[in-house]
Amino acid sequence: MDQSKLKGVILHGGHGTRLRPLTHTGPKQLIPVANKPISQFVLEDLKSSGVEEIAIIVGDILPEKVQNYYKDGSEFGAKITYIHQKNPGGIAEAVCLAKDFVGTSPFVVYLGDNLLKGRVTEFVKEFSSSSYDAMVLLCQVENPSRFGVAEFDNNGNLARLIEKPKRPPSKYALTGIYFFKPLIFKMIRRLKPSGRGELEITEALQALIDDGYKVAHRFVTGWWKDTGTIEDILEANRLVLDSLQKRINGVVEDTHSIQGRVAIGKDSVVKRGALIRGPAIIGEKSTVSGRVYVGPFTSIGNGVRVERGEIENSIIMDECSIEIDGKITDSLVGAGTNLSTNQKNPKGYRLVVGENSKIVL
C-alpha cells in the first residue's frame, strides 16, 4: 500500500443535545443542509480530494441510520469502514479508535458536523508530500471561546492550543479538520480526561508541539461552520444556498412562479399561483400549491406537500405536509411532520420540530 496516500476518518458521534428534539431520532450529522446531510458534504470533500478509504466513527444515537444511508460507500465512490464509539469520550478518544484502520498511513480527521467552503484538496496534497507530523486548519472567528484556539509565538509558529478558553489568545479557531501521522496515537495514550471528562485533541496536539515534533498550521479561506446549534444549521443552509445554481428538473406550471436561483428536483410540481423566490431548493416528488409562498434561503426536502402558507429561511425535511394560515420562518421541521392550522388569523411561527410530529397551530 502507498503509505503516502491519506486515509480519512469522519467523526459521526456525539449526542447533539443543543439540537434536540431533532437528535432524538438520529445523529446530528444527518440533518440536511440544502437537502443534503451535513456529513455528506464532508464525505464528498474527502472523496474529491483523493481520499477514498474512509472510516466513519458512529456513536450510540441510531448508528444504523448512518450505515443505511452511506452503506459501503460505493455510491459515493468511497470505501467505508464503520467503527462504533460506545460512549462519547472526546475527539481524541474517537481518533484512537481508528488506529487499526489507519495502520501506518497518514490520515485526515474531519468532524462530520463541519461545513467548509471550498475543498481540502490542497491541504491533502501538501500533507501527503510533507515531513509534518501533524497539520491543523484554522479559521478566524468572532467568538473563539466556543472552540479550540491557537496561540502563536513571535515567529508566527504554533505555540499553544487551548480548548474553549475563557480568554482566547487569538481569534483563530481549530476548524475540526486535522492531519496526522500515526504518531498521534502515542500522544493520545498519554492523555488523562479533562475537566469535561473527555480526551482533548488539543492536548494531544500540544504534546506533539512540546516534544518538538513538526506541527504545521494553515488558514482556511471563505467560510467555515460548526453546525452545533439550530442557528448554526440555518446559517449553514443560507451559506450553501447562496451559491446555488438554478436547476428546474420538475414541472413549473407558470414560469412567473420562479424568481431568482431556484432548484427543483425530479417529479416535483409547482402549481400556478405559487411564488418561489430564491435562493431556494425543492427536492424530488414534492408539490407546492398555488396558495404558497416560499421565500429565500429555504430548503424543502423530498416528498413534501405544501398546500398553504408562507415559508422563509427554513429547512423542511422529507415527507412533510404543510397547510397553514400564516408564515413559518427561521425554522427546522423534522421529516414526516404534519403542520396545519385551525385558526383564521394569520400568524408567524418559528419552530423546531422533531420527526413524525403532528402539530395543529
Is 318 domain-assigned? yes
Across the range 260-288, mean pLDDT stands at 97
Is 136 domain-assigned? yes
Same-domain status, 94 and 180? yes
Check whether 179 has a pLDDT greater than 90. yes
Interatomic CA distance for residues 213 and 179, integer angstroms: 14
Is 2 domain-assigned? no
Same-domain status, 33 and 129? yes
Same-domain status, 225 and 253? no
List Cβ neighbours of 195 (8 Å cut-off, separation of 6 or more): none
Backbone angles phi, psi at 331, to 5 degrees: -125, 155
> What's the pLDDT tens digit per position in 41-91?
999 999 999 999 999 999 887 888 899 999 999 999 999 999 998 877 788
Q: What is the share, in percent, of the chain residues with pLDDT greater than 70? A: 89
Q: What is the share, in percent, of the chain residues with pLDDT greater than 90? A: 61
Q: Which amino acid is located at 339 in the chain?
A: L
Check whether 196 has a pLDDT greater than 60. yes
* Per-residue pLDDT band at 357 (split at 50, 70, 90): low
Last residue of a domain, one of 207, 241, 275: 241
Comparing 148 with 138, the larger pLDDT belongs to 138
The answer to whether 293 and 311 are in contact (CB under 8 A) is yes
Is 41 domain-assigned? yes
- Mean pLDDT over the full length of the chain: 88
Sign, CA torsion 233/239/73/6? negative
Which CATH number belongs to the domain containing residue 186 in this structure?
3.90.550.10
The answer to whether 205 and 151 are in contact (CB under 8 A) is no
Same-domain status, 356 and 293? yes
pTM of the model: 0.89
List Cβ neighbours of 349 (8 Å cut-off, separation of 6 or more): 324, 326, 327, 328, 329, 331, 361
Same-domain status, 235 and 264? no
Is 1 domain-assigned? no
pLDDT of residue 361: 59
E strand map for 141-248: 148-152, 158-163, 172-180, 215-219, 224-226, 247-248
pLDDT of residue 289: 94
pLDDT of residue 353: 65
pLDDT of residue 193: 77
Across the range 88-111, mean pLDDT stands at 92
Same-domain status, 114 and 173? yes
Cα 299–chain centre separation:
15
Same-domain status, 264 and 315? yes
Beta bridge partners of 122: none
The residue with cell 422529507 is: 318
Across the range 113-121, mean pLDDT stands at 86
The residue with cell 504518531 is: 183
pLDDT of residue 1: 34
Same-domain status, 122 and 270? no
E strand map for 38-147: 53-58, 79-84, 107-111, 114-116, 134-140
Number of domains in the chain: 2
Check whether 2 has a pLDDT greater than 50. no
Last residue of a domain, one of 241, 262, 291: 241
Q: Give the 3-state secondary structure of residue 229.
A: coil
Same-domain status, 82 and 147? yes
Check whether 300 has a pLDDT greater than 90. yes
The answer to whether 282 and 264 are in contact (CB under 8 A) is yes
The answer to whether 92 and 148 are in contact (CB under 8 A) is no
Same-domain status, 13 and 122? yes
> What's the pLDDT tens digit per position in 222-267?
788 877 788 888 999 999 999 999 999 999 999 999 999 999 999 9
Q: Which amino acid is located at 361 in the chain?
A: L
> What's the pLDDT tens digit per position in 6-29?
999 999 866 555 556 565 556 778
Check whether 269 has a pLDDT greater than 90. yes
Which residue range forms the structural domain that includes residue 310? 247-360
Which CATH number belongs to the domain containing residue 278 in this structure?
2.160.10.10
Is 215 domain-assigned? yes
Same-domain status, 343 and 311? yes
List Cβ neighbours of 63 (8 Å cut-off, separation of 6 or more): 12, 27, 82, 84
Same-domain status, 96 and 121? yes
How many other C-beta atoms lie within 10 A of the C-beta of residue 246?
12
List Cβ neighbours of 358 (8 Å cut-off, separation of 6 or more): 337, 338
Q: What angle do CA 48, 88, 76 make, to 5 degrees?
A: 20
Last residue of a domain, one of 241, 265, 295: 241
Is 281 domain-assigned? yes
Is 113 domain-assigned? yes
